[in-house]
Structure 1
Amino acid sequence: MTRPLGHFIVGPRSHGVVRYAHAVLDAAVAHGGEHQFVDDNVVSTESLATATDYGIVHIHVTDRLFGATPAEAQRTLLSMMAKFRAPVSVTLHDIPQPSDGVRMGARSAFYAAAARAAAGVIVSSHHEAALFAEFVDASIAVEVVPLMFDGVRVEKRTRADHITVGVLGFLYPGKGHLETLRAMAVLDPAVGFVALGAPSPGHEHLVHDLEKVAADSGRRCEVTGFLTDDEMRRRIAEVTVPVAYHRHMSASGSINAWVAAGRRPLVPRTAYTRELTARSPGVVTMHSNSDAALRSAIAAGVADPDHTWADPSVTPSPTAVEVAQTYDRLLRRWSA
């Protein structure tokens, strides 16, 4: 009898990595594989005598889900992994890079420890694989499974009550919210700014910063806070110009959320976005990676909003089915 493949998911459902972990599990279950959710009690007890005998347990990992510091996260994650009788594989998100600043060394140590303890390692882009090799551990092989495009395509609005420029996802430095708002200085103040999401813990001050910049130019500014899936789809459809000016992206669930809904967000030309467009042509509008290019791209989007919607014939890749099949194949290869 084939042993089930376990998925242990750590963290609140509102966190992007946690939401994606559930999406992978849901896709794998729908695909027909014997994938199961691992209950929290399995790792909160010292004895696993009654635990299901999994072929492997898979965990989606980013350091902040496991501790306030990378060192604390490392202790917590390795302790969890050691409690399973089955081998443990990981998907590593938010790979360390120089933009981490003084935290980079500690974060790299965390990711290296997690990878060395794992039976297999997945990252979400070839760009992340290159970052892992350069800044974590080039001796550890990783598999690339791009983030899935999964969601409901929203209905195109025939007329917007208000013209808006929107950024999707948690607010934190480098995500591009302030840069986008400042790039709107060339636009009529009647064009509003909207941030679809809530500030990351510790970065609540960014809401005040955005409101101040907007007020100084007489522009409307809205930070929606957390949105349910239905609310997010509605707001995605309402935004006139979707923007993803993330300064240090290595893989982006925010871009995927726009694209899965049928929007064509403005993105800077980076190693990751070039990889994305090579895999899925026509899903984004790319501009040079500069504030000046962003200003021009936003102005063009306001002038021609139809260009911010993807052609209905475009099918982004990979789909949920493709990701489920790949995860199933890899986890079975690594299982005991």
Structure 2
Amino acid sequence: MRSYAVVGPERHGVVIHALRLAASSPALSAGLVRISTPDVATASADLRRALAGRDSAMIQVTDHLLGATPSDAADLVEDLARTTPLALCLHDIPQPEEGEARFARRRTAYRRFVDSASVVVVASEHERALLAECLDEHASNTRVVVLPLPVERVNTPAPERYSPRKGPARVAVLGFLYPGKGLEHVIDAAGRVVARGREVEVVNIGGVSTGHEGLVKELALRARQAGTTFSVTGYVPERDLAHVVRDVDVPVAAHLHVSASGSINTWIALGRKPIVLAGAYTRELAERMPGAVTIADDVAALAPAIERAVESPDSTWLGDDVQLGPSWAESAAAHENVLRSIS
């Protein structure tokens, strides 16, 4: 029997993505092994039991969902691979910008993931290149498949008429708040727009990643010093997200080292055209879906891009002619094919 394993809490981005794939595929849904135990050690033991005797399995993988440390996560995957052929969908590929010690730990774990797998899946050509850098000269015969993240348009048409907001223009970043999300650059850019005579506020739509609660006060102080404000909505249920996203004046994604982004794709799927920082992944996205994003060449270009968006609200909504993809059904079918290839 083929299994499709999803480990982690309901609100984690990887879990949300993985479960929506399962919901889009009768085959993945039929083989779904769902482990949501909060304790990582217990979840690992549950996964071992659940996959025992299975013919093959696809697992959605980021190291911190499978172990207390990257090494623990790699131990688990190696144990599973001894008895079950694995297709690993790798997320959060390690990058040197994480810091030398963290990168070294995670790179070693991801090398072990690759060695354990019959095939690995990444979400962009940029991630394929990052994975190759992780492997460096480490030889591996494991096949690597690129399956782009699904981007399927939700019925959220742009307003027929744009009217100025009463009060500050709302500049928003979407998703969990954590270091490296680029909020400090968005806040600084908003401050420069304020200095030019426009009222602007910055909002993070989403909750705060565990362990980074202090970041909210730091960013709020930075915003006050820049002449603007910063706030966090907290977790927004799926049923309310489209309404919240429609109420934003300027959608922004300012990750400096993004390799694949569910938050950017969520902006796009909900009809918005976010401002993104130039990088390998965002250029790849722009080439694959022309007209889906507005690229700011660097951090210094964020302020003028935000100001232009405030002046021209229609530029923050997708045109009807923008072609998105793959759909969730197409992506799920591609994942099915990968899993079937190792059975």
Same fold (TM over 0.5): yes
Query: Which amino acid in structure 1 is aligned with residue 66 of structure 2?
Result: F
Structure 1 residues 45 and 143: CA distance shift in structure 2, 3 A:
closer
SS in 2 for 1:14: coil
TM-score normalised according to structure 1 size: 0.89
1:310 and 1:42 map into 2 onto residues whose CA distance is 42
| Counterpart for residue 249 of structure 2 | 240
Amino acid at match of 1:264: K
Q: TM-score, normalised by structure 2?
A: 0.87
CA apart distance, 1:253: 0.7
Distance 1:261 1:21 in 2: 19
Structural mapping, 1:187-226, within 5 Å: 187-188=193-194, 190-226=199-235
One-letter amino acid of the counterpart of residue 214, structure 1: A
Secondary structure, aligned partner of 2:25: helix
Out of 156, 181, 199, the residue aligned to residue 154 of structure 1 is 156
- Contact kept, 8 Å, 1:262 with 1:312, in 2: the verdict is no
Match of residue 122 from structure 1: 121
Question: Which range moves more in the overlay, 37-46 or 195-204?
Answer: 37-46
User: Quick check: 55-64 or 239-248, which moved more?
Assistant: 55-64
Q: Is residue 28–residue 327 contact of structure 1 (8 Å, CA) maintained in 2?
A: no
Mapping of residues 10-89 of structure 1, within 5 Å: 10-29=7-26, 35-40=30-35, 44=46, 54-82=54-82, 85-89=83-87
Counterpart in the other structure of 2:143: 141
Offset, 1:54: 4.5
CA contact (8 A) 1:155 1:237 kept: no
Structure 1 residues 47 and 60: alpha-carbon distance in aligned structure 2, compared to 1, 3 A threshold: closer
- State the alpha-carbon separation in 1 of the partners of residues 48 and 333 from structure 2: 33
- Change in Cα spacing, 1:46 to 1:317, as seen in structure 2 (3 Å) is closer
Partner of 2:284, secondary structure, is: helix
Question: What is the aligned length?
Answer: 325
Q: Following the alignment from structure 1 to structure 2, what is the Cα–Cα distance between the partners of residues 239 and 36?
A: 39
Q: 1:323 aligns with which of 327, 331, 340?
A: 331
Contact 1:132 1:138 in 2 (8 A): no
Cα–Cα, structure 1 residues 224 and 33, in superposed 2: closer, same or farther, change >3 Å? closer
Deviation at 1:8, TM superposition (A): 0.9
Which blocks of at least 5 consecutive residues in structure 2 are unaligned?
36-42
**Aligned Cα root-mean-square deviation (Å):** 2.3
Q: CA 1:56/1:178 → structure 2, altered by over 3 Å: closer, same or farther? A: same
SS at match of 1:165: strand
The equivalent residue for 1:175 is 181
Counterpart residue type for residue 100 of structure 1: E
2:40 alignment partner in structure 1: none
Distance 2:44 2:201 in 1: 48
Inter-CA distance 314–15: structure 2 relative to 1 (3 Å threshold):
same
The AA in structure 2 aligned to 1:19 is I
**1:92-111 pair list within 5 angstroms:** 92-101=90-99, 102-111=101-110
Alignment of 1:293-332 (within 5 A): 293-332=301-340
Give the whole-Å Cα distance in 1 for the aligned partners of 2:209 and 2:232. 12
Aligned equivalents of 1:95 and 1:42: distance in 2? 21
Measure how far apart 1:151 and its partner are.
Answer: 5.8
Are the aligned partners of 2:48 and 2:80 in contact in 1 as well (CA < 8 Å)?
no
Shift of residue 12 of structure 1?
A: 0.3
SS of residue in 2 equivalent to 1:307: helix
CA apart distance, 1:116: 1.3
Distance in 1 between the 2:130 and 2:120 partners?
A: 14
Q: Go from structure 1 to structure 2 and tell me whether the alpha carbon gap of 1:77 and 1:247 turns closer, same or farther (over 3 Å shift).
A: same
Question: What is the SS of the residue equivalent to 1:90?
Answer: strand
Structure 1: gaps (5+ residues):
none
